[in-house]
């Protein structure tokens, strides 16, 4: 009996050591922090000649996993290949000058290590601003079964542009304070990605964000921070705030109502009586993605939720055409 107890405790100690080693290895980063925010310029594409009408889109691409996003179901490579082709085809059709992505993978086992930013940017986007918000050697999510774990993940938010980008900022937003340490170590950092786009020699500030999905108090704090950033830039620049806010348009208690009430801020592809939905794509029932803009410096021409992207993601993109006021 004593011998059994001795072996049992030895095995237990070894298991604990193995778990600790795995935890620190899995949650460690693979990139230098300098790589977390960078602007890439590709010489093979040309910058369009100055125009008077520009277009912009926002799209939570859900790492091209469609309606399987974050679900413990098998995701074959054929699913990602099909969804990527759908996104490429539909992006060509709407042909935005600027497109902001959330949940886009740069190198992740869950999406078969395809750099999704590069694939889409190859459509003709010379300027690419990248901000990483998930850099894990191994991500044990979904929690069960282990065969569904994401494994290595390098993912984030990107802004692709046919016009020059400059002065990128990567601002990390409030974390969920109630998370235990072992979950916090794998937390997807919520970001405000800020970049200036040069249109007709005028600098336009674009703020790309993806707010907390599950914890309301944290989402409220993140929204207040992002709204403060928007208000700061809006004083001096034409400013566009867009992304996945995870805040429902039809919920009159939701924090998103605060920006709806701002008279000098426009809301693309939106009406208060029946706002077009962006989530989910199997049967859209919520509006949680938005493009906001400064009315005093940006003239809204048209906008729409682009249903043609289908179930390439669990979100639908929003598209806006605009003109800069003199």
Across the range 173-195, mean pLDDT stands at 86
As given in the structure block, the two tokens for residue 255 are 């924090």
Across the range 70-82, mean pLDDT stands at 92
Report which listed range, 3-7, 27-31, 147-151, 248-252, is most confident: 248-252
| Confidence grade of residue 19 (pLDDT, cut at 50, 70, 90) | confident
User: How many whole angstroms separate alpha carbon 325 and alpha carbon 124?
Assistant: 27
Q: What is the pLDDT of residues 147-170, one digit of tens each?
A: 878 889 999 999 999 999 999 999
User: How many whole angstroms separate alpha carbon 324 and alpha carbon 163?
Assistant: 14
The pLDDT score that the predictor gives to residue 144 is 77
Q: What are phi and psi of 189, to 5 degrees?
A: -65, 130
User: Pairing relation of β-strands 298-305 and 165-172?
Assistant: unpaired
User: How many whole angstroms separate alpha carbon 304 and alpha carbon 290?
Assistant: 11
Span of 12-16, 95-99, 172-176, 215-219 with lowest mean pLDDT: 12-16
| Confidence grade of residue 227 (pLDDT, cut at 50, 70, 90) | very high
As given in the structure block, the two tokens for residue 223 are 């929204």
| Confidence grade of residue 35 (pLDDT, cut at 50, 70, 90) | very high
Q: What are phi and psi of 159, to 5 degrees?
A: -125, 120
Alpha-carbon separation of residue 37 from 77, 153, 193, 229, 271 (angstroms): 28, 16, 9, 18, 35
Q: What are the start-end ranges of the H helices in the chain?
A: 2-26, 77-94, 116-121, 181-184, 216-234, 257-260
Asked if 101 and 132 count as a contact pair (C-beta separation under 8 A), the reply is no
Question: Does the pLDDT value for residue 23 go beyond 80?
Answer: no
Alpha-carbon separation of residue 289 from 244, 261, 263, 276, 282 (angstroms): 4, 17, 19, 10, 16
Question: Does the pLDDT value for residue 326 go beyond 90?
Answer: no
The pLDDT score that the predictor gives to residue 25 is 72
Q: What is the DSSP letter of 279?
A: B
Alpha-carbon separation of residue 122 from 94, 116, 168, 238, 295 (angstroms): 15, 10, 21, 28, 32
| Residue-averaged pLDDT of the chain | 93
Residue predicted with more confidence, 5 or 303: 303
Across the range 184-194, mean pLDDT stands at 88
The pLDDT score that the predictor gives to residue 222 is 98
């Amino acid at each position: 009996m004593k011998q059994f107890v001795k072996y049992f405790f030895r095995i237990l100690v070894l298991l604990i050591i193995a778990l600790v080693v795995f935890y620190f290895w899995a949650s460690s980063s693979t990139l230098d922090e300098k790589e977390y925010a960078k602007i890439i310029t590709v010489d093979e594409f040309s910058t369009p000649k100055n125009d008077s009408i520009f277009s912009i889109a926002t799209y939570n691409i859900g790492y091209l996993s469609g309606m399987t996003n974050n679900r413990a179901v098998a995701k074959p490579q054929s699913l990602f290949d099909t969804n990527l082709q759908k996104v490429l085809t539909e992006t060509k059709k709407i042909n935005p000058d600027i497109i902001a992505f959330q949940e886009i993978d740069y190198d992740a086992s869950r999406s078969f290590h395809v750099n999704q930013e590069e694939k889409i940017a190859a459509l003709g986007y010379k300027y690419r601003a990248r901000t990483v918000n998930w850099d894990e050697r191994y991500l044990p999510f979904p929690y069960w079964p282990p065969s569904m774990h994401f494994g290595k993940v390098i993912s984030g938010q990107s802004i692709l542009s046919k016009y020059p980008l400059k002065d990128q900022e990567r601002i990390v937003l409030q974390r969920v304070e109630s998370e235990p340490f072992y979950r916090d170590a794998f937390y997807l950092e919520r970001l405000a990605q800020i970049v200036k786009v040069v249109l007709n020699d005028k600098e336009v500030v674009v703020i790309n964000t993806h707010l907390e999905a599950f914890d309301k108090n944290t989402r409220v704090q993140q929204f207040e921070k992002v709204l403060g950033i928007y208000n700061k830039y809006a004083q001096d620049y034409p400013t566009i705030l867009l992304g996945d806010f995870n805040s429902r348009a039809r919920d009159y208690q939701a924090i998103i109502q605060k920006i709806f009430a701002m008279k000098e801020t426009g809301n693309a592809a939106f009406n208060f009586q029946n706002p077009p939905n962006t989530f989910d794509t199997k049967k859209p029932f919520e509006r949680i993605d938005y493009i906001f803009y400064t009315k005093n410096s940006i003239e809204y021409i048209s906008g729409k939720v682009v249903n043609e992207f289908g179930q390439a993601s669990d979100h639908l993109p929003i598209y806006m055409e605009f003109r800069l006021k003199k």
